[in-house]
Chain A
Amino acid sequence: MSPPHQNRGLTAIDGAMALIVILLMVQIWLLSATVEAFLGGHRETALPGAIVSGIIFVACFGLFCFVDQVDRDVRR
């Protein structure tokens, strides 16, 4: 049986990865919606789309750093 700190670490990693997947799904939808609007002649949606996509990427990167750190700690 794994030590408690390892179990907690794995739960944190699983939660963070689930969050990354959810954020990625939102980002894919955002990209498709922005492309659709751009092709439809609505160029005003490009800026907010890029800003929100950037925020989501930063959040994903932060979660990745978190997963990386926790994974290293658990393996010690």
Chain B
Amino acid sequence: MRWFGRPNNKPLWQDEFSVFTADERYVSRRQLAKFLTLTSFSMFVGNAWILLRSWLYKLPSYTARPVGKADDVPVGGARIFQYPGPDSPCILMRTGADSYAAYSQVCTHLSCAVYYSSERNRLECPCHNGAFSVADGSVVQGPPQRALPRVVIERQGETLVALRVESGGQV
């Protein structure tokens, strides 16, 4: 059965109407297969690009930096600081008399600022109700797929020093 095509076998230049819309819109199996194969190629290029990025990626070097006095934060309290740069907000929490935890304040879902909920003892994102564990930064609720990057904090005398950032893993 022929659904499309020119109604007669005259040469194209002899046709009164030489544009056949149905023919132009018709996608053959071959064309569709070609399109799907090109899509597959573009997916492969995406994977190859990630591979290239992972080869060219260099581990960032962090410099130790004091982030405040140890007694500035009460037990169960939190404060904001910037590390490693001024555009990287982090949140420091005092979880016990001598225990501290610090994470990036940027939610791994859509980059909203997370805050510390002392009642629930977890980090919460107000945008989409995501929540992260204070113990290790892992996701405990909501849409985020990755844990919060952890800032390694060391107490040196009365000063808290940020040493480096460890990227958060998969859920």
Q: B57: which A residues are within 8 A, CB to CB?
A: 43
Chain B, 31-56, contact with A by CB distance < 8 Å: what is the 0/1 string? Answer: 01110110111011011101101110
- A63: contacting residue among B33, B54, B170, CB under 8 A: B33
Residues of B within 8 A of A13 (CB): 29
Check B50–A34 contact: CB distance below 8 A: yes
Given contacts A28-B43, A31-B46, A54-B44, contact A61 B170 (CB under 8 A): no
Residues 25-76 (chain A) with a chain B CB within 8 angstroms? 27-28, 30-31, 34-43, 46-47, 49-50, 53-54, 56-57, 60-61, 63-64, 67-68, 71
Q: Cβ of B168 < 8 Å from any Cβ of A?
A: yes
Contact A57 B41 (CB under 8 A): yes
Residues 127-171 of chain B: 1 if any A CB is under 8 Å from the residue's CB, otherwise 0? 000000000000000000111000000000000000000011110
Instruction: Tell me which residues across on chain A come within 8 A of B10, comparing CB atoms.
Output: none
Hey, what's the 0/1 contact readout for B43-77 against A, CB within 8 Å counting as 1? 11011101101110100000000000000000000
Closest B residue by C-beta to A21:
B36
What's the Cα separation between A17 and B40 when bound, in Å? 13
- In the complex, are the beta carbons of B47 and A49 less than 8 A apart? yes
Q: Residues of B contacting A20 with CB < 8 Å?
A: 33, 36-37, 40
Would you call B30 an interface residue if the criterion is a C-beta within 8 Å of the partner chain's C-beta atoms? yes
A67 & B51 in contact (Cβ 8 Å cutoff): no
Q: How far is the CB of A46 from chain B (nearest CB, A)?
A: 4
Is the contact region of chain A dominated by helix, strand, or loop, or is it mixed?
A: helix
- CA–CA, A64 to B37, complex, Å? 7
Residues of B within 8 A of A71 (CB): 28-30
In the complex, which residues of chain A have a beta carbon less than 8 angstroms from the beta carbon of B29? 13, 17, 67, 71
Task: Flag if A41 contacts B169 (CB, 8 Å).
Answer: yes
Can you list 30 pairs linking A and B with CB atoms under 8 Å apart?
A17-B32, A17-B36, A20-B33, A24-B39, A24-B40, A27-B44, A31-B43, A31-B46, A36-B145, A36-B146, A40-B168, A42-B170, A43-B57, A46-B47, A46-B54, A47-B54, A49-B47, A50-B50, A53-B44, A53-B47, A53-B48, A54-B44, A56-B44, A57-B41, A61-B40, A63-B37, A64-B36, A67-B29, A67-B30, A71-B29
